[in-house]
Amino acid sequence: MAAVSRSTLRRSAIALTATFLFCTAMYAASAPLARVIKINTTDSMPVGIYLMRPEAIAPGRIVVACPPEDAARLGLHNGYLERGSCASGAAPLLKYVAAIGGSRVAVTGSGIEIDGRLLDNSVARRKDRHGRTIPHIRLGRYRLDEDEVWLYSPAPWSWDSRYFGPVSKNQIIGAASPLFALSTHQASHNGE
- Examine the domain organization and report whether 106 and 155 are in the same domain: yes
Instruction: Check whether residue 80 and residue 39 sit in a common domain.
Output: yes
* Distance, C-alpha 11 to centroid of its chain: 32
Question: What is the mean pLDDT, run by run of 10 residues, along the chain of 192 residues?
Answer: 68 69 59 63 88 89 95 94 92 96 96 96 93 93 97 93 96 91 56 31
**Pair 89, 78 in one domain:** yes
Q: How much is the pLDDT for 28?
A: 54
Shared domain check, 54 and 148? yes
First to last CA, the chain: 51
Same domain, 10 and 78: no
Number of H helices, E strands in the chain: 3, 11
Edge-to-edge strand list for the sheet holding 167-168: 37-40, 48-53, 172-181, 62-65, 93-100, 148-152, 167-168
192 lies in some domain:
no
Do 40 and 25 lie in a common domain? no
Domain check: are 60 and 139 in the same one? yes
Domain containing 129 equals 33-181
Report pLDDT for 132. 94
pLDDT at res. 33: 38
pLDDT recorded at residue 110: 95
The confidence score (pLDDT) of residue 146 equals 97
186 inside domain: no
Whole-model pTM: value is 0.77
How many domains are there within the chain? 2
